Amino acid sequence: MNKSTFVICCVAAINAALLALALFLSSRTGIDPSSFYGDPNAVARQSFAMGFLSNTGAIAWISAASISLFSWWLRRSFAADDRDSWSLLLFGLLTAWLGLDDLLMFHDGLADHLGISQLAFVSVDAVMAMAWVATALLSPSRFGSNSLLLILAVAGLGGSLVIDQSIDAELLYFPGASLIEDVVKLTGIMFWAAYALNLSHGHVAALLRREAQVAPGPAQAATPEIVGVRSADALR
C-alpha cells in the first residue's frame, strides 16, 4: 500500500468512526444524528455570536496541539533516538485532550449523558499532565526556554477552575463572576498556546541546527524525507 492510499484509508476510517460515534450518542441521548454534524448555533437557532469567544479558545487549544504534534513528527522523522521528542509528544497529546474536553464538554456535559463520573475525565487530565511533567524533567531541554508562559497558563487555567468551583458551591457569587471566570480561562488558554508555539519553535530550531552541523556523507542519504521538505540539506 503506497502512502496516498494509506492516507485515504485513514481518512475514510476516521469518518466511519465519527459516524458510528454520532449514532451511538444518538442512541444514548435521543438527539438526532444530524444535529451532531450541524453548527451548534444553527441547530439551537441561536445568534451566530453565541459562544464565539469560547470557540476562539477551542481554536487556540487545537492549534497549539497541532503545532506541537507536527513538531514532534519532524523531530522523530530526523532523529529517532531523540529523547526530547517524547516530551513534545506527551505535551501535544495533553493539549489535544484538553482542547477536545473544552470543545466537546467531556467532563461537564458528555459525562452526565453517559453516566460517567466527572472525576474520571479529571483523572485522565491529571495522569496525562503528570506523565508529561515527568518526561519533561528527564529530557535535556526540560520545559523549554520560556517556562514563564507555562506558569502564566497554569495560573490562568487553575484560577478559572477555582472560580468556577466557588461559584458552583455558592461560595463566590456577584454580578459578573462568571464573566471573570471565562476571561481568566481564555487568558490561560492563550498563554498555553503561546507556550506551545515557543516550545515547538525551540525544538525545531534545535533540530535544524543539529542537522546543519552534520557533514555531508552517505549517512545523509538515508535521512527520511518529509512531505513538503526535500531533505535536511534543503533546510539549511
Residues 60 and 24 reside in one and the same domain: no
Q: pTM for the complete prediction?
A: 0.78
Q: What is the pLDDT of residue 153?
A: 95
Residues 16 and 116 reside in one and the same domain: no
Residues 116 and 207 reside in one and the same domain: yes
Q: What is the pLDDT of residue 125?
A: 86
Residues 97 and 208 reside in one and the same domain: yes
Residues 20 and 136 reside in one and the same domain: no
Residues 44 and 60 reside in one and the same domain: no
Q: What is the pLDDT of residue 232?
A: 41
Q: What is the pLDDT of residue 81?
A: 59
Query: Which residues form the domain of 30?
Result: 1-50
Q: What is the pLDDT of residue 154?
A: 94
- C-beta separation of 99 from 65 below 8 A: yes
Residues 138 and 170 reside in one and the same domain: yes
Residues 79 and 136 reside in one and the same domain: yes
Q: What is the pLDDT of residue 207?
A: 80
Residues 203 and 164 reside in one and the same domain: yes
Q: What is the pLDDT of residue 231?
A: 44
Give the chain's domain count.
2
Query: Which among 192, 97, 95 has a CA at the least distance from the CA of 151?
Result: 192
Residues 23 and 57 reside in one and the same domain: no
The CA distance from 233 to 49, in Å, is: 48
Residues 101 and 210 reside in one and the same domain: yes
- C-beta separation of 106 from 128 below 8 A: no
Query: Which among 64, 118, 122, 114 has a CA at the least distance from the CA of 93?
Result: 64
The CA distance from 51 to 37, in Å, is: 17
Residues 62 and 43 reside in one and the same domain: no
Angle between helices 84-104 and 177-213 (to 10 degrees): 150
Question: Which parts of the chain have pLDDT scores under 50?
Answer: 215, 219-221, 226-236
Residue type, 118: Q
